[in-house]
Amino acid sequence: MRQWITVFNREMLEYWRNFKWIWVPVIFILLGVTDPLSTYYLPQIIESVGGLPEDATFDIPTPPPADVLMMSLSQYSQLGVLVVALMSMGLISGERKSGAAELVLVKPIRYSTYVTAKWAATSVLVLLSLIVGLLASWYYTNLLFGEIAFGDLLLTLLFYSLWLFYVVSISILLNTMFKTPGLVGFLTILLVILTSIVTNIFDHILDWSPAQLSSYINIVLTEGAIPNELWGTTVVTVLLIVGLLTLSIYTFRAREMA
Amino acid sequence: MAELFETINWGLIAPIIVIQLILMVTALIDWARTENTNGPKMMWLFIILLLNIIGPILYFIFGRRND
Amino acid sequence: MPIISVTNLLKKFDGHPVVNNISFKLEKGTCVALLGPNGAGKTTTLRMLSGLIRSNGGNITFEGLEKTADIRSEIGYLPQHPVFHNWMTGKEFLVYVAKLADLDKRTAAKEADRLLERVGISDAKNRRIGKYSGGMKQRLGIAQAMIHQPKLLILDEPVSALDPIGRREVLTLMEELKLETTLLFSTHILNDAEEVSDELLLMHKGDIVESGSLAEVRQKHKVNKIDLGFKEGFTGFEQEIKALPSVLNLEVDKNKISVIVTDTDIGREELLRLIQAKGWPLDKFVVGRATLEDLFMKVVQE
- C204-257: pLDDT as tens digits: 888 888 888 877 887 777 777 888 888 877 777 888 888 888 888 888 887 888
Provide the 10 A C-beta neighbour count for residue C92.
18
Give the domain range for residue C280: 225-301
Q: What is the mean pLDDT of residues C119-132?
A: 90
Q: What is the DSSP letter of A61?
A: P
pLDDT(C45) > 90: yes
| Selection from A222, A14, A6 nearest residue A107 by Cα | A6
Give the domain range for residue B39: 9-63
Domain assignment present for residue B2? The answer is no
Residues C180 and C232 grouped into a single domain: no
Q: Where are the domains of chain A?
A: 2-52+59-254
**What residues are paired with C201 via a beta bridge?**
C34, C211
C129: confidence class by pLDDT, cuts 50, 70, 90: very high
User: Which chains, if any, share at least 3 CB pairs under 8 A with chain B?
Assistant: A, C
Q: Which of C217, C235, C257 is the last residue of a domain?
A: C217
Dist CA C236 CA C230 (whole Å): 13
User: Lowest mean pLDDT: which of A55-64, C133-142, C247-256?
Assistant: A55-64
| Selection from B41, A100, A105 nearest residue C88 by Cα | A100
Domain assignment present for residue B1? The answer is no
- Which of B61-65's residues contact partners 24+ apart within 8 Å by CB, and which partners? B61/A83, B61/A86, B61/A87, B62/B38, B63/B31, B63/B37, B63/B38, B63/B39, B64/A18, B64/B30, B64/B34, B64/B37, B64/B38, B65/B34, B65/B36, B65/B37, B65/B38
Per-residue pLDDT, C190: 79
Residues C8 and C69 grouped into a single domain: yes
Q: Which of A27, A100, A143 sits opposite B57 (nearest CB)?
A: A27
| Selection from C195, C187, C214 nearest residue C36 by Cα | C187
Residues C32 and C161 grouped into a single domain: yes
Q: How many domains does chain B have?
A: 1
A79: confidence class by pLDDT, cuts 50, 70, 90: very high
* Closest CA–CA distance from residue C45 to any residue of chain B (Å): 28
Residue C47 in contact with partner chain A when CB distance is under 8 A: yes
Contact list, C101 vs chain A (CB under 8 Å): 107-109
Angle between helices A111-144 and A228-254 (to 10 degrees): 150
Choosing among B33, B35, B66, B67, which should be mutated to test the C contact, i.e. which has the most C CBs within 10 A? Answer: B67
A244: confidence class by pLDDT, cuts 50, 70, 90: very high
Cβ of C85 and B67 within 8 Å?
yes
Dist CA B43 CA B62 (whole Å): 12
Q: Which of C77, C85, C96 sits opposite A106 (nearest CB)?
A: C77
Choosing among C81, C84, C86, C137, which should be mutated to test the B contact, i.e. which has the most B CBs within 10 A? Answer: C86
CB within 8 Å of C141: residues ≥ 6 apart: A103, C78, C79, C82, C84, C158
Dist CA A146 CA A150 (whole Å): 12
Cβ of B16 and A22 within 8 Å?
no
Q: Which of C217, C233, C253 is the last residue of a domain?
A: C217
CB within 8 Å of A155: residues ≥ 6 apart: A217, A220, A226
Residues C234 and C210 grouped into a single domain: no
CB within 8 Å of A4: residues ≥ 6 apart: A113, A116, A117
Among chain B residues, CA nearest to C131: B35
What is the distance, to the nearest Å, from the Cα of residue C138 to the centroid of all Cα atoms in its chain?
A: 15
Residue C84 in contact with partner chain A when CB distance is under 8 A: yes
Q: Which of C185, C217, C249 is the last residue of a domain?
A: C217
Average pLDDT, chain A: 91
pLDDT(A258) > 50: no
Per-residue pLDDT, B34: 84
What is the distance, to the nearest Å, from the Cα of residue A26 to the centroid of all Cα atoms in its chain?
A: 14
Per-residue pLDDT, C284: 85
Per-residue pLDDT tens digits for C255-282: 888 888 888 888 888 888 888 888 888 8
Which residue has better confidence, C96 or C245? C96
Residues C213 and C251 grouped into a single domain: no
A187: confidence class by pLDDT, cuts 50, 70, 90: very high
Residues C53 and C174 grouped into a single domain: yes
pLDDT(A257) > 60: no
Residue C131 in contact with partner chain A when CB distance is under 8 A: no
Residues C180 and C85 grouped into a single domain: yes
Q: How many domains does chain C have?
A: 2
Residues C109 and C254 grouped into a single domain: no
Where b means 16+ CB within 10 Å and e means fewer, C94-107 reads: bbbbbbbbbbeeee
Dist CA B35 CA B33 (whole Å): 7
Contact list, B24 vs chain A (CB under 8 Å): none
Q: What is the mean pLDDT of residues A143-155?
A: 92
User: Lowest mean pLDDT: which of A93-102, A140-149, C139-148, C271-280?
Assistant: C271-280
Among chain C residues, CA nearest to B35: C130
Residues C126 and C92 grouped into a single domain: yes
Contact list, A258 vs chain C (CB under 8 Å): 13, 47, 52-53
Domain assignment present for residue B48? The answer is yes
Q: What share of chain C has pLDDT > 70, as a percent?
A: 96
* Closest CA–CA distance from residue B35 to any residue of chain C (Å): 10
Among chain A residues, CA nearest to B31: A18
Residues C157 and C247 grouped into a single domain: no
Residue C81 in contact with partner chain B when CB distance is under 8 A: no
Contact list, C85 vs chain B (CB under 8 Å): 67
Contact list, A16 vs chain B (CB under 8 Å): none
Cβ of C70 and A108 within 8 Å?
yes
Domain assignment present for residue B36? The answer is yes
Residues C236 and C195 grouped into a single domain: no
Per-residue pLDDT tens digits for C171-204: 988 988 888 899 999 988 878 888 888 888 989 8
C91 contacts C40 by C-beta, under 8 angstroms = no
Domain CATH code at residue C154: 3.40.50.300
Dist CA B26 CA A113 (whole Å): 32
Per-residue pLDDT, C97: 95
Residues C161 and C234 grouped into a single domain: no
Q: What share of chain C has pLDDT > 90, as a percent?
A: 28
ipTM for the whole complex:
0.87
Domain assignment present for residue B46? The answer is yes
Per-residue pLDDT tens digits for B12-27: 888 888 999 999 999 9
pLDDT(A51) > 80: no
Domain CATH code at residue C279: 3.30.70
- Is 0.90 topped by the overall pTM? no
pLDDT(A33) > 70: yes
Which residue has better confidence, A180 or B11? A180
pLDDT(A10) > 60: yes
Widest CA span in chain C? 75
Contact list, A99 vs chain C (CB under 8 Å): 79, 81-83
Which residues of A lie inside 8 Å of B (Cβ-Cβ)?
Answer: 18-20, 22-23, 26-27, 29-30, 33, 37, 41, 44-45, 47-48, 83, 86-87, 90, 94, 98, 100, 140, 143-144
Dist CA A130 CA A28 (whole Å): 6
| Selection from A91, A106, A121, A113 nearest residue A3 by Cα | A113
* Helix/strand number for chain B, H first, E second: 4, 0
pLDDT(C103) > 60: yes
Per-residue pLDDT, A81: 96
